[in-house]
Structure 1
């Protein structure tokens, strides 16, 4: 496949696997089924160094100063009274935030010496602290055994059944210090229901088994949580092989995201005949631009009945697999972190390696190869 058949978003995520994740070019190229030469070229283009001007250097210094001031402000967020406490209590405050902030920055902000803090760390723990550490180990064990879904009330009951005499407040405090929190998954996002301007007939009618590639595609959107905000993922899936043939990841759920995902599918498959493209009745799929793109590329729109999620069950099933096998209720630090992980799951694992029960326990890629070779 030539380079011009790879969308820019695909290239960017492939390069990110090399530049940010540290994988070798041959390894990534092999897993994606592309040539080493193409990937080397994409990486070279993005890694060309730029000379820093005096203005850029000044901007760098200002950003560094802003980072320092912001870090100092965040250190005190909700805890400014610690400045009025004794030195040892300030040391304890610093220790509780070692995984978040630099020791040097915290010592400067709290007006204590680093040498004094490190000397305090070496002092033997009190009996109470030793008991807290022992109890915390048991709390962590119970938390892990529950799969991360137990909060302080259930863990307290679990510990009491095992002979501990701790109170729930103490357990809650130790869990908070250790950043252990009951993981209950995403809250369901509700979007205002609107009547789309254009509604297509349901040509699919829940016929999810097709005998040839590029007969029917299904499309849908899901959301992934990051600390920078939501990241929306739109996919296009071929019902024949269950392969994800198009995708796009954007910070906004606009019509562009579904068009870009469909554009990738068209570039990859280049269908020679009409293809049914089935989706729900979301406004993105009812937009004029989306409908015009379908018409221009010989694609036939199909829409689920309103309120019947089973009409698009295959796409929903893929999202379920993605979130249980990879996302696992986690919150990514940045959208770029989420993009890299989702790209790895879709392109390197799901399409090429994951054994699919519907396909006789082979991967979508292998299933299509077997069809083409007649094996």
Structure 2
């Protein structure tokens, strides 16, 4: 950057120009004639002379002090515009509320520098937003490699942040529902085999991610009357199975919409916890639960693993499941009916657990599957189908060793030399 001309040189050049104005037709001609001899630019000399005349009151225009004030104000305006630009960019950069990693801070400053903003100004804006960084720290970080922990943290944070990104419908990724243990398992399955649960917990806290927290709510089975004939309890709270299609549990819940309550029934295989059948209706009658059962039977048959006689069909003592019509349907399909004991809070706990998952993960207002209010039964069916696809094929289940239900069944049939066509069944089981 060239140095400023000494004051003596400037004053002498102005004095010589003013003395020779009468020898030239105009001031510009005088400046053009003298500037080469004084080793000064003609325009620079003209500005000096104009300022000197204005300062002496011989010419209208800003004085030297006023010009300096104008320069200062322009500089302040420029700095304010840059600061506002950096603040807007930093608002997006820091929107999650957690302190960014070192590589992320360096990348942001580099981006601001490429946009024409100074490093010191950018660091100052970040400090005002609570990010402790100086221009000296930035240059040190840029020239030396980041620590191994910083690099690994940056990779994990990127994965966690990606779950928050909303799609065109405004939905986040469903894995954002995971707490630290299941998030750790999901990250390990995604290629980060060495990640520890403590690291995931620390970074999730920094990102403000807690996962879904569900409360405990127990209810006893509804009674159909002391004299109502019903099937015995064959499970006796043993909600496990040695193979697929050994025992199913069924239940239904309700979903409020703008017009009516929509009832949604599910059939769950106890071996893999896969949802093998479901149905939605505005009427909770016997045909409603029969459709759910028929769908489950069809789906299994379509996948190449038809239900064999003797499968245990367990439900609570609701009137839909104890009706004569439904009891006959179960018998005609070769299934063995099982009904939990009346007044027992845990008689159908496996099914009620799924009802709780469905309410919290799919139906809740903060659900990553929700795209707006549930107005009609069609909205409930669409929401349920999206959640069920994720639940069966990608959601990690702790009872299965953090494995999705369909993957668990594929492994079973692979070990028993029986390939399964679950993907084809999922596409058609709408």
TM bucket normalised to smaller: 0.3 to 0.5
Query: Over alpha carbons, which structure has the higher Rg?
Result: 2
